[in-house]
């Protein structure tokens, strides 16, 4: 810049020396002569234009002769193949298939409750009993009469085997015994309904009816809620366009915000039906719950690995630009030597994104040097220097 200023001063000096001494601007203004003032302005306009053109010539010459002109500084990255895993992010709710309400199967007074809320129980364990209304005494009487009928039948059968007695007597005792036996079985089955047992191994989530309450089969008569926290799963809807990528066995990262807990699991089942209302299909995801901390209906955030590439070329989305035709492009550095090279605009085809990272499918190869910082301020073919 000092050279430019020196040349300008010399230009003004030679112009002033080569001309006759003219009245100063103040002298012309002092004349109050409009004609002279206008003439002076025209003269100065002409001089200004001539000086401007000469300055442009000087600057052009300086650019050609200046070997220390400034080259744009950029940062660059070398493309390398790496593993790229894309995740589909969804939301779902934790569920369990063993979460049931237990109802009474016979009417009566809830005579005894043997368990409390939060208690672990095993399949078949007695949870409560209902007053049987004297049915146990009836069963005892039937057991006695059935035993007698059995003895009578066995003796009659022994005689009949020896061809003693009539066939009618044998058939009557046999029929009477079978009738008594069937009646006893039915009464025992009915009596068994007075004892409420756990349908599966789990935990008593809620005791709904208190001891002494009159209960009966039907809605509103729930006595217990029992839950199995071992067999937990998450159910969620997946857009149909992912049906070929989200399949059984795919890896899933589950985050439970309320527990601040992350689990790594897999897709257990995928649905075979596309919901016409929202064009989605349902998947089921396993939820390991060894410490029983996960509860039904918890909200879960899911990251399903729907795409993996072992030889991906990944770059930041921020260095990709778009031209007027809608094509995406990046700048690679060609003829690189001593950290200097030339920016070359290259059209690329992109794939999936994950966060700020995007996969490049076509246009560049491993080993190419891409301009990173400064990519939006360079031009095709411009010389650049890689910042150290």
pTM: 0.55
Nearest CA to 227 out of 209, 194, 204 is that of 204
Tell me the C-alpha distance between 385 and 378, whole Å.
11
What's the mean per-residue pLDDT of the chain? 84
CB 221 within 8 A of CB 103: yes
What total number of domains does the chain contain? 4
107 and 200: one domain?
yes
CB 230 within 8 A of CB 289: yes
135 and 151: one domain?
yes
Nearest CA to 123 out of 222, 217, 228, 232 is that of 228
Tell me the C-alpha distance between 87 and 355, whole Å.
10
In this model, does residue 233 exceed pLDDT 50?
yes
* Per-residue pLDDT reduced to its tens digit, 166-179: 888 888 888 888 88
CB atoms within 10 A of CB 121: 20
**Stretch 67-96: mean pLDDT:** 84
**Stretch 85-111: mean pLDDT:** 88
CB 146 within 8 A of CB 185: no
**Stretch 245-252: mean pLDDT:** 89
Picking from 166, 192, 226, the residue at the C-terminal end of a domain is 226
CB 79 within 8 A of CB 367: yes
Picking from 196, 226, 256, the residue at the C-terminal end of a domain is 226
206 and 106: one domain?
yes
Q: What is the CATH number of the domain that holds 319?
A: 2.40.420.20
Q: Which pair of tokens denotes residue 141?
A: 């009487």
Nearest CA to 311 out of 346, 252, 351 is that of 351
93 and 116: one domain?
no
135 and 280: one domain?
no
93 and 240: one domain?
yes
* Per-residue pLDDT reduced to its tens digit, 326-380: 889 998 988 888 888 888 989 999 988 888 889 999 988 988 888 888 888 888 8
Phi, psi (deg, nearest 5) at residue 335: 50, 45
In the chain, which ranges are continuous DSSP H helix? 2-17, 25-31, 34-65, 135-161, 167-192
Distance of CA 319 to the CA centre of its chain: 26
Q: What is the CATH number of the domain that holds 293?
A: 2.40.30.170
Residue 151's domain comprises 100-226
Picking from 173, 199, 226, the residue at the C-terminal end of a domain is 226
Nearest CA to 252 out of 84, 85, 82, 83 is that of 85
151 and 259: one domain?
no
Tell me the C-alpha distance between 202 and 110, whole Å.
22
Q: What is the CATH number of the domain that holds 121?
A: 2.40.50.100
Question: Which range, of 11-25, 217-231, 343-357, averages the lowest pLDDT?
Answer: 11-25
**Stretch 120-130: mean pLDDT:** 90
106 and 183: one domain?
yes
120 and 60: one domain?
no
108 and 191: one domain?
yes
Name the pLDDT band for 157 (thresholds 50, 70, 90): confident
54 and 41: one domain?
yes
282 and 215: one domain?
no
pLDDT of residue 64: 65
């Amino acid at each position: 810049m000092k050279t430019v200023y020196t040349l300008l001063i010399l230009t003004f000096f030679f112009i002033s020396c080569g001309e006759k001494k003219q009245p100063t601007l103040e002298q012309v203004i002092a004349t109050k002569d409009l004609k002279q003032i206008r003439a002076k302005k025209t003269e100065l306009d002409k001089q200004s234009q001539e000086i401007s053109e000469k300055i442009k010539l000087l600057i052009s010459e300086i650019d050609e002769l200046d070997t220390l002109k400034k080259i744009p500084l950029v940062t660059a990255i070398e493309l390398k193949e790496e593993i790229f895993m894309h995740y589909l992010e969804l939301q779902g709710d934790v569920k369990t298939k063993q979460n049931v309400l237990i109802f009474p199967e016979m009417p009566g007074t809830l005579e005894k409750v043997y368990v409390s809320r939060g208690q672990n129980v095993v399949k078949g364990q007695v949870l409560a009993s209902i007053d049987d209304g004297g049915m146990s005494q009836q069963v005892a009487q039937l057991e006695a009469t059935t035993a007698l009928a059995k003895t009578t039948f066995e003796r009659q059968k022994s005689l009949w085997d020896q061809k003693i007695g009539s066939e009618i007597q044998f058939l009557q005792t046999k029929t009477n015994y079978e009738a008594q036996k069937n009646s006893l079985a039915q009464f025992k089955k009915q009596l068994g309904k007075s004892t409420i047992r756990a349908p599966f191994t789990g935990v008593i989530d809620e005791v709904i009816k208190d001891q002494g309450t009159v209960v009966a089969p039907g809605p509103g008569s729930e006595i217990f809620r029992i839950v199995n926290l071992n067999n937990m799963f998450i159910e969620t809807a997946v857009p149909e366009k992912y049906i070929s990528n989200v399949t059984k066995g795919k890896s899933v990262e589950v985050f439970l915000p309320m527990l601040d807990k992350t689990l790594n699991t897999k897709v257990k089942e995928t649905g075979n039906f596309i919901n016409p209302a929202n064009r989605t299909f349902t998947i089921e995801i396993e939820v390991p719950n060894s410490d029983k901390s996960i509860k039904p209906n918890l909200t879960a955030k899911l990251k399903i690995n729907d795409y993996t590439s072992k030889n991906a070329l990944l770059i930041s989305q921020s260095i990709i630009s778009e031209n007027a035709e809608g094509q995406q492009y990046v700048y690679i550095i060609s003829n690189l030597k001593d950290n200097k090279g030339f920016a070359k605009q290259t059209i690329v085809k992109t794939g999936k994104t994950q966060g700020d990272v995007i996969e490049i499918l076509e246009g560049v190869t491993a080993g190419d040097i891409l301009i990173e910082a400064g990519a939006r301020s360079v031009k095709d073919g411009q010389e650049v220097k890689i910042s150290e």
